[in-house]
Amino acid sequence: MNGTSEVDHAEGTANRAGETVVSANGVEKTYDSVLPFTRSVEVLDGATLRVERGQVVGIMGENGSGKSTLMGILAGVLDHDAGEVERTGAVGWCPQEPRLYDRLTVDETFELFGTAYGMSDDEIVDARAWLTDVLDFERFRDRQIRHLSGGNRQKVNLSVALMHEPDLLLLDEPYTGFDWETFLAFWDLTEELRARGVGVAIISHIINERDRFDVVYELHEGHLHRQEIGDDDSLSSEPTDDVACERTASFVDETGAGSGQRATAGQEESE
Amino acid sequence: MSAVHRTLEGIQASTRSFVREPFTVVLLVVLPALSIQIYGVGMGQFPDVGIFAVSGSVAAVGRITGAVFATGALAGVLGLFQMISARHADRRLAICGFRGVELVTARFATVAVASAVVSVVATVSLIVLVDAPIRAPLAAFGGLAIAGAIYGLLGIVVGSVLPRELEGSLLLVILADVDNVFASGLFGIEDSVTQFAPLAHPHAIVTQAVVEGSLATDHLTPALGHLSLFALLSVAAYTYQLESGGDA
């Protein structure tokens, strides 16, 4: 958004770089089954993670490894069975499946969620102008969500998470369905948010984008393995929760080679 | 940002979603008249030889039964679809700052408005299609409005615990049908049993309004009792699904 207050806000948050905006320590989550002939599924087993202001963190892992569950717990949408999650500041959550009202227009969606965030009418208008311009969907403002293409729906989904200028942004495969231009615009936006001091966590399948992250966590068998991008050539062999497990071979191969070609924008497989 | 502002914004959003489904609007207009006519013609085929325990003509009671069924089933299905279409988005809205009570109020206000609209359409259809003029149309509307509100709330309950369009709709329509058979009094089922059918008392209110032209005051309190019970059940069910992340 434009304006002096925005600059002040950006400087204020950027000055607190290094401050943790969300941390998870020893988080456990099991989906219990109450029905016969179905089994309980243990998804997270002592997962530990930290996101700081101005940091862009990638969360990767195989399909069904529990990335979306972890994101839901970090956002406060899902309960966890054990461990601790601490958040500071406002949270923006962009779920993998847009949780929007299909029969509202884009403008009405901004209005409704802006009201939920406690924004004034002017702030909502500013946020809408900023995001529809950056993500290039201004011409669809009067269209109902159900009549938008998957990519444009995802832009609205992302915008709802961003419109109140959160301190922490949790994005679950945010660029699904984006065209190439929008994909690049998304990363420009992410860099802008990083500069403002926003902590960003992104679930991603696009391995060859890993250099854009400051830190990458791989989720495997309920544990998170941390890697500082640029500090080391390979992933840490030890999980962050000190529980040994074998990492995903394909992930290590692809990151080691630095040429993973699993998917392109809009084509990655959904979890 | 005041709670009133957020609640009004929520009601406005829900109402827009409701009226923007053309098929719903068509059903709303067509189904009550169709149901009233089918029940009236169907029941009118039976010889009126005293086998039915009804206070008016069998055809008239058939039309009343059709109106109550259409109101209940339609309001129930609308309540169900409201819940199914909004359950995940409601959860996100709660995460973004809407309080539970504001969301509950917005959702229930919309279901109340939808039920009232169904009741108005059913009342008008009944006035047009029943043979003799209705002497107490407001009482008839009141009975249908209570029937619609009860099933609208039941739709919220079913939508919260069984969030599936096909199964939920079938359940509600079958429930409304069986309930209506109990409520109609056509087969002289023991009152000690039928009084617990949710539509029994609204049906009696509508019947007395149409046949005798008066308000069945003795059925008003139990009808409102049923309404209160379903209001509590639906608030509990909605709150549960909201807190469970819309994935209950």
Q: A238-250, pLDDT tens digit by residue?
A: 555 544 444 443 4
Are B226 and B150 in contact by the 8 Å Cβ rule? The answer is yes
Query: How would residue A253 be classed by pLDDT, with cut points 50, 70 and 90?
Result: very low
**Best residue of A115, A122, A145 to probe chain B, by most B CBs closer than 10 Å:** A115
Out of A99, A112, A164, name the one closest to residue B88 (CB): A99
Residue B236 lies in a domain: yes
Lowest mean per-residue pLDDT among A30-39, A228-237, B239-248: A228-237
Query: What DSSP designation does A235 have?
Result: -
Contact list in A for residue B22 (CB cut-off 8 A) is none
Winning range, highest mean pLDDT, from A118-132, A195-209, A256-270:
A118-132
Q: Look at residue A187 in the predicted model and tell me its pLDDT.
A: 92
For residue A48, the surrounding DSSP H or E stretch is: strand A41-52
Chain B nearest-CA distance from A102, in A, is: 8
Instruction: Work out the angle between the directed axes of helices B58-96 and A106-117 (0-180°, nearest 10).
Output: 60
Q: Considering its fold, how many domains does chain B have in total?
A: 1
List A residues 198-227 in contact with B (Cβ-Cβ < 8 A): none
Position B215 pLDDT exceeds 90: yes
Query: How would residue A9 be classed by pLDDT, with cut points 50, 70 and 90?
Result: very low
Q: From CA B51, how far away is CA B188, in angstroms rounded?
A: 9
Residue A29 lies in a domain: yes
DSSP-derived 3-state class of residue A245: coil
Query: How would residue B180 be classed by pLDDT, with cut points 50, 70 and 90?
Result: confident
Q: Look at residue A26 in the predicted model and tell me its pLDDT.
A: 93
Out of B20, B85, B96, name the one closest to residue A116 (CB): B96
Q: In this structure, what is the dihedral angle of CA atoms A218, A219, A220, A225, given to the nearest 10 degrees?
A: 50
Are A218 and A236 in contact by the 8 Å Cβ rule? The answer is no
Position B88 pLDDT exceeds 90: no
More confidently predicted of A55 and A241: A55
Residue A242 lies in a domain: yes
Q: SS in 3 state form for chain B?
A: CCHHHHHHHHHHHHHHHHHCCHHHHHHHHHHHHHHHHHHHHHHHCCCCCCCCCCCCCHHHHHHHHHHHHHHHHHHHHHHHHHHHHHHHHHHHHHHHCCCHHHHHHHHHHHHHHHHHHHHHHHHHHHHHHCCCCCCCHHHHHHHHHHHHHHHHHHHHHHHHHCCCHHHHHHHHHHHHHHHHHHHHCCCCCCHHHHCCCCCHHHHHHHHHHHHCCCCCHHHHHHHHHHHHHHHHHHHHHHHHHHHCCCCC
In 3D space, the residue among A169, A143, A216 whose CA is nearest the CA of residue A13 turns out to be A169
Q: Is A76 on the interface with B (CB under 8 A)?
A: yes
Lowest mean per-residue pLDDT among A48-57, A138-147, A225-234, B206-215: A225-234
Q: Which two tokens stand for residue A28?
A: 């456990």
Q: Position of tokens 């839901």?
A: A72
N- to C-terminal Cα distance for chain B?
30
Segment A164-192 mean pLDDT: 92
Q: From CA B9, how far away is CA A83, in angstroms rounded?
A: 37
Q: From CA B235, how far away is CA B231, in angstroms rounded?
A: 6
Residue A100 lies in a domain: no
Residue A171 sits in a domain whose CATH number is 3.40.50.300
Segment B166-186 mean pLDDT: 88
Q: Considering its fold, how many domains does chain A have in total?
A: 1
Position A232 pLDDT exceeds 70: no
Q: Is B144 on the interface with A (CB under 8 A)?
A: no
Are A261 and A208 in contact by the 8 Å Cβ rule? The answer is yes
Determine, for residues A117 and B96 on separate chains, whether the beta-carbon distance falls below 8 Å: yes
Residue A118 lies in a domain: no
Alpha-helical runs (H) found in chain A: 4-14, 67-75, 106-117, 121-134, 150-162, 180-196, 249-257
What ipTM is given for this predicted complex?
Answer: 0.79
Q: From CA A61, how far away is CA A204, in angstroms rounded?
A: 8
**What sign for the dihedral angle of Cα B116, B119, B120, B121?**
positive
Chain A nearest-CA distance from B243, in A, is: 9
Q: Look at residue A49 in the predicted model and tell me its pLDDT.
A: 93
Query: How would residue A130 be classed by pLDDT, with cut points 50, 70 and 90?
Result: very high
Residue A134 lies in a domain: no
Winning range, highest mean pLDDT, from A11-25, A27-41, A183-197:
A183-197
Residue A77 lies in a domain: yes
Determine, for residues B245 and A160 on separate chains, whether the beta-carbon distance falls below 8 Å: no
Determine, for residues B93 and A112 on separate chains, whether the beta-carbon distance falls below 8 Å: yes
Q: Cβ neighbours of residue B116 under 8 Å, at least 6 residues apart?
A: B145, B148, B149
Q: From CA A116, how far away is CA B154, in angstroms rounded?
A: 28
Residue B8 belongs to what domain range?
Answer: 3-243
Are A166 and A91 in contact by the 8 Å Cβ rule? The answer is yes
Q: From CA A267, how far away is CA A204, in angstroms rounded?
A: 12
In 3D space, the residue among B240, B38, B241, B216 whose CA is nearest the CA of residue B125 turns out to be B38
Q: Look at residue B187 in the predicted model and tell me its pLDDT.
A: 67
Q: From CA B97, how far away is CA A116, in angstroms rounded?
A: 5
Position B213 pLDDT exceeds 80: yes
Are B63 and B144 in contact by the 8 Å Cβ rule? The answer is no
Query: What DSSP designation does A104 have?
Result: S
Residue A150 lies in a domain: no
Residue B248 lies in a domain: no
Determine, for residues B17 and A101 on separate chains, whether the beta-carbon distance falls below 8 Å: yes
Q: Cβ neighbours of residue A110 under 8 Å, at least 6 residues apart?
A: A124, A127, A128, A159, A160, A163
Determine, for residues A72 and B6 on separate chains, whether the beta-carbon distance falls below 8 Å: no
Query: How would residue B132 be classed by pLDDT, with cut points 50, 70 and 90?
Result: confident
Partners of A86 in beta bridges: A23
Q: Position of tokens 């009233």?
A: B36
Chain B nearest-CA distance from A259, in A, is: 36
Lowest mean per-residue pLDDT among A150-154, B1-5, B75-79, B126-130: B1-5
Q: Which amino acid is at B28?
A: L
Q: Look at residue B40 in the predicted model and tell me its pLDDT.
A: 87
Nearest CA in chain B to A120: B1
Q: Look at residue A13 in the predicted model and tell me its pLDDT.
A: 53
User: Please, how many CA atoms are within 13 Å of residue A158, restricted to the half-sphere of its CB?
Assistant: 30
Q: Position of tokens 């109106």?
A: B67
Determine, for residues B13 and A104 on separate chains, whether the beta-carbon distance falls below 8 Å: yes
Q: Look at residue B54 in the predicted model and tell me its pLDDT.
A: 58
Contact list in B for residue A77 (CB cut-off 8 A) is 91, 95, 245
Out of B86, B95, B98, name the one closest to residue A93 (CB): B95
Segment A241-264 mean pLDDT: 40
Segment A131-152 mean pLDDT: 95
Q: Look at residue A7 in the predicted model and tell me its pLDDT.
A: 39
Q: From CA B83, how far away is CA B69, in angstroms rounded?
A: 21
Q: Look at residue A3 in the predicted model and tell me its pLDDT.
A: 35
Out of B17, B85, B97, name the one closest to residue A116 (CB): B97
Q: Look at residue B240 in the predicted model and tell me its pLDDT.
A: 85
Query: How would residue B246 be classed by pLDDT, with cut points 50, 70 and 90?
Result: low
Residue A28 belongs to what domain range?
Answer: 1-90+166-180+197-265
Out of A93, A100, A115, name the one closest to residue B5 (CB): A115
Across all residues in chain A, what is the average pLDDT?
81
Contact list in A for residue B92 (CB cut-off 8 A) is 93, 95, 99-100, 160
Position B247 pLDDT exceeds 70: no
A45 φ, ψ to 5°? Answer: -135, 80
Q: From CA A225, how far away is CA A217, in angstroms rounded?
A: 5
Q: Look at residue B2 in the predicted model and tell me its pLDDT.
A: 79
Out of A93, A101, A115, name the one closest to residue B1 (CB): A115
Determine, for residues A116 and B246 on separate chains, whether the beta-carbon distance falls below 8 Å: no
Position B98 pLDDT exceeds 70: yes
**Best residue of A106, A112, A145, A164 to probe chain B, by most B CBs closer than 10 Å:** A112
Position B190 pLDDT exceeds 70: no
Q: Look at residue B186 in the predicted model and tell me its pLDDT.
A: 67
Position A255 pLDDT exceeds 70: no
